[in-house]
Amino acid sequence: MRHHLILRVITKLLVGTIFLFALYVQFHGDYSPGGGFQAGVIMAAGFIIYGIVFTLEKVKAVFPPWLVHKVVALGVLIYAGTGIYSLFYGYGYLDYAVIDPHHPVHGQHLGILIVELGVGVTVTGVMVAVYYAFAARAPSLGDEDW
């Protein structure tokens, strides 16, 4: 990999920009196209590009598989926890008015942001886990078999 200096430098510059764009899509998804799913895929793409350029072992050092699994569970917990929170207070599942009962519109806005955050975190974890599973798989055909 030492002979791909330009590719490695450009990747280091782009990955940070990709993560920043994913955060923009995440937190502006209710005002413009985007949201949790799109932001999660963009965030995962940053890790995947890093893994393709710098090897699977290097990306696993940055985002270890045990953490990927915890991130997936955390995202589901954020999403489901928002709905369960509203049930505990006598509202319907995912009725965001419970978050700010005096200003239900603000509660709706905050609830959407929380749920979209849960979706984004889950999608990032799942996409990275799928990449780890496919990239770690041993090829069934060698180069000479083609």
- pLDDT over 90 (residue 146): no
| Stated pTM of the model | 0.87
68 within 8 A of 129, measured Cβ to Cβ: yes
Give the tokens for residue 49. Answer: 């590009």
pLDDT of residue 3: 67
Instruction: Tell me the pLDDT tens digit for each residue of 22-65.
Output: 999 998 876 666 788 999 999 999 999 999 999 999 999 999 99
CB-CB neighbours of 7 under 10 Å: 13
1 within 8 A of 54, measured Cβ to Cβ: yes
pLDDT of residue 1: 54
Binned at pLDDT 50, 70 and 90, residue 100 comes out as confident
- pLDDT over 80 (residue 69): yes
Block residue for tokens 């995962």: 44
3-state secondary structure 84-136: HHHHHCCCCCCCHHHHCCCCHHHHHHHHHHHHHHHHHHHHHHHHHHHHHHHHC
Rounded to 10 degrees, the C-alpha dihedral 57/60/65/67 comes to 160
Q: Rounded to whole angstroms, how far apart are CA atoms 73 and 89?
A: 24
Give the tokens for residue 17. Answer: 């920009």
Give the tokens for residue 92. Answer: 């319907």
Side chain identity, residue 48: I
